[in-house]
Amino acid sequence: MYKMPKKRVRRKTRKSAVKPVMVRSSKQRINLVARRLIFFVILFVLSLVLNVAISNEIWKNLFAMLTLIFGFVSLAFLIVLLILWFMKIIRK
């Protein structure tokens, strides 16, 4: 006996809904930036101490480069933190 082919059922595809962007409060932003600033300052100080403590030229150059990088990143987070503080003060 011949069977009829099954009908293909079209599944409705969901359109990917745009997820709402999570809006953080200014206190959360300040805490996040402050934690990252502290982290990079610690890395900056650690690399600075290791740069002074180590006598091997290769390691000294590596830690000097890391000191520069962590110093600039720390400075960037400090600037962002100051901007967020000023925005919070101005908003009041």
Angle among Cα 14, 20, 25 to the nearest 5 degrees reads 165
Q: For residue 12, what are its two tokens?
A: 């409705």
Task: Provide the pLDDT for residue 9.
Answer: 72
pLDDT band, residue 92 (cuts 50/70/90): confident
Mean pLDDT of all residues in the chain? 88
* pLDDT tens for each residue of 20-60: 666 678 889 999 999 999 999 999 999 999 999 999 999 99
Average pLDDT over residues 73-82: 97
In the predicted structure, residue 86 carries a pLDDT above the cut 90: yes
The domains of the chain are located at 27-91
d(CA 41, CA 47): 10
Over its C-alpha atoms, the chain yields an Rg (Å, rounded) of 27
d(CA 82, CA 84): 5
